[in-house]
A and B are shown apart, each in its own frame.
Chain A
C-alpha cells in the first residue's frame, strides 16, 4: 500500500489501513531524506519495486527537505457501500495530487464570491464580474479572509515556492469564475441559455451532443443541490432546520464586546466571586504617646477592584478585559 502511495501520490482505502500506511510511508520518506547507502538498501527491502527508489531518494527527498515530518495527509471520505467501512484518502503533501491545495483555493474563491454578493471589500477585488485572473492571498488581502480559510492558506503555502503560490491564486480565480458563470446561469431562464447553446451549435462552435450534455448540466446548476447554500449565506440549511432563526435563550443572546472572544470573557468571569465579599480593613494608628487608635471599615464588593487583599496578579488578557 505504501508503494502504491509513493507511485500514485494519492490512494483511497479504509481509514485504519490509511493510518497504518501513513506511518510507514513517513518513515520511508525519512529514510529517503537521509540518503545514505544503508538507508537505500533498507528502503529497497521495504518497497514493492526498485523503480520507486529514485522517486523516494530524489523527488520526495527534495520536496520534503524543509518539512520536519508529516509528509502524508489523511482525509475521511464517508463509508463504503458494501461493508460500511470508513473510507479515507491518503495522499502525499505538497505534491501534484494535493487535495488541500485545491480545496483551499476553492474556499478562497467561494469567500470572495461571498464578498461580491454582499457588496463587501469592493476595494480589494474590483471588476470581479468580468472575471479574475488571479486572487492574491498573501499579505493584507489575506487578513480579510475567515480565520479557518486564512489558516489553511498559511498551511498550504508554507513549504511552496513562488510559482506554486502564483498557481494557487490562479486556481482560486478560476473557481471564482466558475461561480460567476453558475450565477449567470441561474439568472437566466432555461430557454435563454439553451437558446445560447443552440446558437453556438449553429455557429458550429460545439456539437449538438455537447449542447444536450450542457443543457443537462445547466439544469442541475440552476436548481441547486439539496441543502446547498449560497456564498453569502451564514446559516446552513441544517441550522435553519434546527430552528436557528427561532427565539434564543438568554445566554445565547449575550454578545461579546469587540475584540474579546466569548472564551476570554467567560474566563475573566471565573475570577469574580459569586457572592458579595465583605472586606474588613483595620487601620491602626499609634500616637506619639503610645496610644493606639484603630479604625475599621467594612467594604462589600463583587469586583476584583474592591478586593484589595488579592495578592496574585491576574493574567494580562483578563486584566485588560476587566479594565483594571
Chain B
C-alpha cells in the first residue's frame, strides 16, 4: 500500500478499497506534513468517477420551486396604529415620522413666506 502513495501514476483502475487505505494511511502514524499529501489528494479526487459526486438530476420545476418558497414571503406588520395627533399610520411605541418632521421644521425657525395656516386666518 505504501507504494500507491509514493507512485500514484502506476495505478490504472483504482479499487475502492485501495483508495480508502491510501487515504487512511496518513492518519496511521505516518508523520508527513499535509502539504506533501496535497498532490496525492488531488489525484485521488481525479480518480473518483463523476457518478460519485452529488449533482441535481433535473432542473427543479417551476411548481416545486414555488412550493419551496411558499413560506418565504414577507410577513405583515401587525404593530401599525393611527397617530393620535395626525391620524397617519405609525408603528406602535414609535414616534410618528410626519409629526416629528413637522415639529423639527418648526424648530428650525419661521419661514420667509407666510404658511398656508397664517394666510388662511389673516386673509
The stretch among A53-61, A98-106, A159-167, A280-288 that forms the contact with chain B is: A98-106
Q: Is A321 at the interface (CB under 8 A from chain B)?
A: no
Query: Secondary structure of the B side of the interface?
Result: mixed
Number of A-B contacts (CB under 8 A): 90
In the complex the two chains form, is B87's CB within 8 Å of A229's CB?
yes
Contacts of B98 in A (CB 8 A): 225
In the complex the two chains form, is A77's CB within 8 Å of B94's CB?
yes
Within 8 A of B (CB), among A217-252: 217-218, 225-231, 233, 236-238
Q: Is B11 at the interface (CB under 8 A from chain A)?
A: no
The stretch among B37-45, B46-54, B99-107 that forms the contact with chain A is: B99-107
Q: Mark B74-99, 1 if CB is under 8 A from A, else 0.
A: 00000011101111110101111111
In the complex the two chains form, is B121's CB within 8 Å of A89's CB?
no
Contacts of A97 in B (CB 8 A): 107
In the complex the two chains form, is A225's CB within 8 Å of B95's CB?
no
Q: Is B56 at the interface (CB under 8 A from chain A)?
A: no
Number of interface residues of A (CB under 8 A): 42
The stretch among B13-21, B24-32, B57-65, B112-120 that forms the contact with chain A is: B112-120
The stretch among A18-26, A173-181, A299-307 that forms the contact with chain B is: A173-181
In the complex the two chains form, is B82's CB within 8 Å of A237's CB?
yes
Task: Known contacts A89-B100, A106-B86, A228-B86; decide if A99 and B117 are in contact (CB<8 Å).
Answer: no
Number of interface residues of B (CB under 8 A): 28
Q: Mark A257-293, 1 if CB is under 8 A from B, else 0.
A: 0000000000000000000000000000000000000
Q: Mark A63-83, 1 if CB is under 8 A from B, else 0.
A: 000000000000111100000
Contacts of B93 in A (CB 8 A): 76
In the complex the two chains form, is B119's CB within 8 Å of A230's CB?
no
Contacts of B117 in A (CB 8 A): 174, 177-178, 181
Q: Is A149 at the interface (CB under 8 A from chain B)?
A: yes
A109 to B117, CA, bound (A): 14
In the complex the two chains form, is B89's CB within 8 Å of A227's CB?
yes
Within 8 A of B (CB), among A140-182: 148-149, 174-175, 177-178, 181
In the complex the two chains form, is B89's CB within 8 Å of A225's CB?
yes
Across the interface, A225 reaches (CB within 8 A) one of B85, B88, B106, B113, namely B88
A184 to B85, CA, bound (A): 18
Distance of B115 from chain A, by nearest CB (Å) = 8
Task: Known contacts A131-B121, A181-B120, A184-B120; decide if A110 and B88 are in contact (CB<8 Å).
Answer: no
A178 to B117, CA, bound (A): 6
A213 to B119, CA, bound (A): 14
In the complex the two chains form, is B103's CB within 8 Å of A238's CB?
no
User: Hey, which bits of chain B sit against chain A, CB under 8 A?
Assistant: 80-82, 84-89, 91, 93-100, 103, 106-107, 113-114, 116-117, 119-121
8 A-B contacts (beta carbon < 8 Å)? A102-B106, A110-B85, A131-B121, A181-B120, A214-B116, A236-B81, A237-B82, A238-B81
